[in-house]
Amino acid sequence: MKKNMYFFRRWFALIIDIIVVLVITIPLVILVLVNNKSISLDSTTQMYIQLVSFIALLIYYIISECFFGETIGKKLMGLTIKSITPKKISFFRVLIRNLLRILDQGLFIGYLLIFVSKKKQRIGDMISGIIVTMKQ
């Protein structure tokens, strides 16, 4: 498959996964606002919302990839994760892969690396020894 098509599949999978997490997170955000008895978005409330969103996204990715080898977005785009070593994909490797998502997405380096790296990996993939491939 052409690198451009692969990149867009991964990108669309990311968008789908973010939508899934938003569907889960929005009720949690509403609970935070109700608990604070405020509908204003002061800096503390915004911090809570960002923290809840980050934790929800992290948990979603870790559970999906550890137990199923794919997220909903990857499944819909025909992608899965695999180990590039003989070692089984472990919780720790998936955790590292997803914690490094902050660096990949924050600096946009991860998306560039998918284009230029031989195995189409972002930093989290390289360090964890995981690749995202098309399903067979």
At residue 101, the pLDDT reads 84
At residue 4, the pLDDT reads 66
At residue 131, the pLDDT reads 92
At residue 40, the pLDDT reads 66
- In DSSP notation, 66-128 reads HHHSS-HHHHHHTEEEEESSSSPP-HHHHHHHHHTHHHHHHSSHHHHHHHHSTT---HHHHHH
At residue 93, the pLDDT reads 94
Express each pLDDT in 72-110 by its tens digit.
999 999 999 999 988 889 999 999 999 988 887 776 777
At residue 26, the pLDDT reads 86
Residues of the chain with pLDDT under 50: none
